[in-house]
């Protein structure tokens, strides 16, 4: 494996650990996998505890999955700083009531200060249930200073 790929793989695994150790993620049954530069895959289990009053997953769950997948796809390109979400646009296309949902994130543009990434949600039947695009800005927070991110 070329040294630059070995370094990238270390960064990807460190991002996965960062996700796993974030306190908010202890509330959700989810797992992040960085699949390559500019790509992420988030697996999330939808259960009744995330329902709104009409018996389907609340929109905040859609946003969380889409934002996380797009964010981590973008942060694969930023090896020194934590990104911050500055805007996010999402579209709901189908309700989901139970089962595994996959959020696929993909970096679109930007490499220095502002990055753009998108994500889509796929339910167990293979149907797209939501889609979103986010803008992420380089912060002053060093990745190496964050608990969970270790190379």
Please give the model's pTM, rounded to 2 decimal places: 0.94
Residue percentage of the chain with pLDDT more than 70: 96
Q: Which residues pair with 122 in a beta bridge?
A: 102, 128
pLDDT of residue 151: 67
| Cβ 83 vs Cβ 139: under 8 Å | yes
* Tens-place pLDDT, residues 48-87: 999 999 999 999 999 999 999 999 999 999 999 999 999 9
Helix (H, G, I), strand (E, B) or coil at 139: strand
Query: Domain limits of the chain?
Result: 3-145
**Class of the 3-145 domain?**
alpha beta
- As to burial, measured by CB atoms within 10 angstroms (0-12 exposed, 13-18 middle, 19+ buried), residue 80 is exposed
* Tens-place pLDDT, residues 106-143: 999 999 899 999 999 999 999 999 999 999 999 999 99
Does 42 have pLDDT greater than 70? Answer: yes
Alpha helices (runs of H) in the chain, residue ranges in sequence order: 3-21, 59-75
């Amino acid at each position: 494996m070329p040294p630059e790929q070995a370094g990238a793989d270390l960064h990807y695994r460190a991002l996965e650990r960062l996700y796993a150790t974030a306190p908010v993620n202890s509330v959700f049954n989810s797992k992040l996998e960085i699949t390559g530069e500019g790509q992420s895959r988030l697996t999330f289990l939808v259960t009744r505890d995330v329902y709104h009053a009409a018996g389907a997953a609340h929109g905040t769950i859609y946003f969380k999955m889409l934002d996380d997948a797009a964010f981590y796809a973008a942060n694969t390109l930023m090896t020194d700083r934590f990104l911050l979400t500055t805007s996010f646009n999402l579209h709901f296309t189908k309700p989901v009531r139970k089962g595994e949902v996959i959020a696929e994130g993909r970096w679109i543009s930007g490499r220095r200060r502002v990055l753009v990434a998108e994500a889509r949600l796929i339910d167990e039947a293979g149907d797209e249930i939501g889609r979103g695009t986010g803008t992420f800005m380089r912060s002053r927070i060093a990745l190496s200073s964050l608990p969970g991110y270790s190379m």
